């Protein structure tokens, strides 16, 4: 949620933000409603004050009694008008995007993201490499046909060593984050609508979510929703900042609009497992920048531990979510796709989610202030299995196990079953 005072004072900036983010919001109507609401609120307050004067009057003359009746009728009409205006205003405000940071490049899509660095050498194979699906089938790690039979398209069963590998990667990540001050949190996968709206996933993006019929309950697409909502309507303590969480959950996304895209393998699926970094901090841009770099470094350290080549890009305006003011995409090299592909998304959110969720704290002067939030993927599986298996495959069909994973798996190589 954007502060209406900021919108009033920066109308053209907000209109340009909507254009740059490709998120149409009716700024003119919002400003018009804001004027009407403030006027209506003043009229209601004035009439209520007069009503109180009349009700306290010791003179109960016919004129006083008649005025009291007229005020009651007029006040009911004014309150109804105010409610109508406020309902429309609140609805339109849900579509207003946050303003990107000054260093975010203006662009039309992910092709305009700015590459910042590449880390690790892309492997040159001395043999014809297999894609992750063929590797997994040779290792008895996956059953897609039965996944589709049971749950429909983009579904799968992970089996045997794949399950252990996913658990090993997750445990490596959780252990790393815990040592860095992040509290592991196993979160609800089913949340109420206000949790989805409060984090900015509704109404924009609602078509990506699974709804439980006959109930205002939804399956999360990221534990960020549950973790940010954990402090909904709370007043946090300044001395507790930054509050660091490592959220652990299964995630569910419809992948609406991707029909026929990435249908082979595990790149784009409806259900996946994720460890998410979420931070609450004081409303301080420099502190947010420091913490943004921290969660980005965590991700890079994870990929380094998995011995995977990757690149970091600064997302352009059109590739930002509604609530994001700045985002780094971390893309890992996937040989079968012959490209760096997104595996992590590191976001600064400012007070957007805190305003929607009413998450506040008292600053050093005692003033009630909305907190800032940040988030970044720590690991998402099975997508991370794609580069992990493809980059570490060996000519004899075995899979090299990165040194950091060996304590969790107990082996230094995984051998095929066929």
Radius of gyration in angstroms for the set of CA atoms belonging to the chain, rounded to a whole number: 26
Distances (CA, A) of 84 to 78, 192, 206: 10, 25, 24
Q: Is the peptide bond before 242 cis (omega within 30 degrees of 0)?
A: yes
Question: Which of 32, 42, 37 shows the shortest CA–CA distance to 81?
Answer: 37
Catalytic residue list: 253, 268, 342, 345, 383
Would you say the C-alpha torsion 227, 230, 231, 236 has a positive or negative sign?
negative
For 36, the token pair is: 């009407």
How many helices, marked H, and strands, marked E, lie in the chain?
13, 18
Which positions ≥6 away from 348 have C-beta within 8 Å?
A: 101, 288, 289, 292, 324, 325, 326, 327, 372, 374
Which positions ≥6 away from 205 have C-beta within 8 Å?
A: 321, 322
CB 197 within 8 A of CB 323: no
* 79: enclosing H helix or E strand: helix 62-93
Instruction: Tell me the H-state helices in 159-312.
Output: 161-179, 193-198, 223-229, 285-305
Give strand pairing partners of 339.
Answer: 334
Residue corresponding to tokens 């895209």: 261
CB 319 within 8 A of CB 285: no
Question: Which of 330, 327, 313 shows the shortest CA–CA distance to 374?
Answer: 327
Phi, psi of 281 (to 5 degrees): -145, 175
CB 161 within 8 A of CB 414: yes
């Amino acid at each position: 949620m954007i502060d209406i005072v900021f919108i009033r004072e920066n109308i053209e900036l907000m209109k340009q933000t909507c254009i740059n983010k490709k998120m149409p919001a009716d700024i003119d109507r919002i400003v018009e409603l804001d004027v009407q609401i403030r006027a209506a609120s003043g009229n209601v307050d004035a009439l209520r004050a007069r009503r109180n004067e009349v009700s306290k009057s010791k003179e109960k003359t016919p004129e006083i009694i008649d005025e009291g009746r007229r005020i009651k009728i007029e006040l009911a009409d004014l309150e109804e008008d105010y409610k109508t205006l406020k309902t429309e205003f609140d609805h339109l405000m849900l579509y207003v995007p946050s303003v990107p940071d000054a260093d975010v490049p203006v662009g039309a899509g992910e092709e305009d993201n700015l590459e910042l660095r590449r880390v690790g050498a892309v492997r040159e194979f001395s043999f014809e490499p297999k894609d992750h699906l063929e590797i997994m089938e040779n290792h008895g790690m996956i059953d897609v046909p039965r996944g589709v039979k049971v749950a429909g398209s983009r579904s799968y069963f992970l089996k045997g060593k794949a399950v252990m590998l996913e658990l090993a990667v997750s445990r490596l990540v959780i252990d790393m984050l815990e040592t860095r001050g992040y509290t592991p949190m196993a979160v609800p996968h089913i949340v109420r609508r206000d949790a989805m709206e409060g984090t900015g996933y509704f109404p924009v993006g609602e078509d990506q979510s699974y709804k439980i019929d006959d109930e205002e309950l939804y399956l999360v697409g990221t534990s960020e929703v549950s973790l940010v909502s954990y402090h909904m309507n709370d007043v946090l303590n300044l001395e507790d900042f930054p509050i660091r969480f490592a959220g652990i959950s299964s995630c569910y996304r419809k992948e609406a609009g991707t029909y026929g895209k990435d249908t082979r393998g595990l790149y784009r699926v409806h259900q996946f497992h994720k460890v998410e970094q979420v931070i609450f901090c004081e409303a301080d841009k420099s502190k947010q920048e420091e913490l943004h770099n921290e969660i980005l470094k965590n991700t890079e350290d994870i990929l380094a531990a998995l011995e995977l080549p990757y690149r970091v890009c600064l997302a352009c305006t059109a590739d930002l979510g509604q609530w994001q003011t700045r985002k780094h995409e971390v893309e890992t090299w996937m040989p079968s796709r012959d490209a760096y592909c997104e595996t992590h998304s590191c976001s600064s959110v400012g007070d957007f989610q805190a305003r929607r969720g009413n998450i506040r704290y008292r600053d050093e002067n005692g003033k009630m202030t909305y907190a800032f939030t940040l988030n970044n993927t720590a690991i998402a599986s099975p997508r991370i299995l794609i580069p992990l298996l493809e980059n570490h495959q060996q000519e004899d069909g075995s899979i090299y196990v990165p040194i950091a994973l060996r304590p969790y798996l107990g082996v230094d190589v995984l051998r095929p079953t066929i």
